[in-house]
Amino acid sequence: GEDVEQSLFLSVREGDSSVINCTYTDSSSTYLYWYKQEPGAGLQLLTYIFSNMDMKQDQRLTVLLNKKDKHLSLRIADTQTGDSAIYFCAERTSGTYKYIFGTGTRLKVLA
Amino acid sequence: SQTIHQWPATLVQPVGSPLSLECTVEGTSNPNLYWYRQAAGRGLQLLFYSIGIDQISSEVPQNLSASRPQDRQFILSSKKLLLSDSGFYLCAWSVSPQMNTEAFFGQGTRLTVV
């Protein structure tokens, strides 16, 4: 079955890079998403990657995908205090309707 | 443009009372609709999803139910709330699963069962 796992907490200093990790289990053609949740709010999509890609970069965000190990990471360069939030990894098999989310990683940025 | 509305934003209900949370989507037709629950330390759990009116799939057996009386309306209900039903409930929508489509989320309802 589908399962997505993340570490629960990450703390970094302002200006450093943050790396948030995720592992997934689905081996089919898969879309993998990164969402950000501000306190008390819904989720906003940050970026996504399809399972036939290895990397995607979007401004300060870099997504790396290791298909062999089913490992996904989100790197945030020059982390700012405004990046403090919960980050969710999610997967969806192409052609299906279900988005399976991980536990979320709470990122705390120290000034 | 498409928007999703969820209400109420917060709710405090006694154990054993009924529940009705409503979600509506504007600006799109025949969306796929979802109810998720976020509990502390347990991430985002998919409760129900619907690909059309009266087509609802339940992911987790529990005392909650979902209904879709109209194309763009999704309702989460319970006849008798339990303490364990407390959490943050999120409604979401998406379009065709053949495309690279994200799920769009509402602002959530914080439910506290006392």
State percent of chain B over pLDDT 90: 80
Span B31-44, average pLDDT: 89
Interface test mutation site (partner B, options A4, A9, A89, A97, max chain B beta carbons within 10 A):
A97
Interface test mutation site (partner A, options B7, B38, B50, B89, max chain A beta carbons within 10 A):
B38
Where are any strands of DSSP class E within chain A? 4-6, 9-13, 18-24, 30-37, 43-50, 55-58, 61-66, 71-76, 85-93, 100-101, 105-110
Q: Do A99 and B94 touch (CB under 8 A)?
A: yes
Q: Cα distance from B99 to chain A (closest Cα, Å)? A: 8
Cα A9 to Cα A19, A109, B65, distances in angstroms: 11, 11, 32
Output the six-digit token pair for A32.
């993998």
Residue A29: what pLDDT? 78
B45 pLDDT band, cuts 50/70/90, is very high
Q: Which residue has the tokens 């609802």?
A: B56
Q: Cα distance from B55 to chain A (closest Cα, Å)? A: 13
Residue B43: what pLDDT? 86
B31: helix, coil or strand? coil
Kindly give, in sequence order, each residue whose CB lies less than 8 Å from that of residue B10, ignoring residues fewer than 6 positions away.
B109, B110, B111, B112
User: Is the separation of the CB atoms in A74 and A61 below 8 Å?
Assistant: yes
Output the six-digit token pair for A97.
């309707």
Span A15-23, average pLDDT: 97
* Tens digits of residue pLDDT in B63-113: 999 999 999 999 999 999 999 999 999 999 998 777 778 999 999 999 999
Q: How far apart are CA A97 and CA A22, in angstroms?
A: 21
Picking from B1-5, B60-64, B83-87, which range would have the lowest pLDDT averaged per residue? B60-64
User: Is the separation of the CB atoms in B91 and B4 below 8 Å?
Assistant: yes
Span A72-95, average pLDDT: 95
Kindly give, in sequence order, each residue whose CB lies less than 8 Å from that of residue B25, ignoring residues fewer than 6 positions away.
B2, B3, B4, B5, B31, B33, B72, B73, B93
A-to-B residue pairs, Cβ atoms closer than 8 angstroms: 63
Q: Using the CB atoms, write b or e for B79-96: b if 16+ within 10 Å.
A: eebeeebbbbbbbbbbbe
Question: β-strands B10-13, B109-113: how paired?
Answer: parallel
* Tens digits of residue pLDDT in A35-82: 999 988 899 999 999 888 899 999 999 999 998 899 999 999 999 999
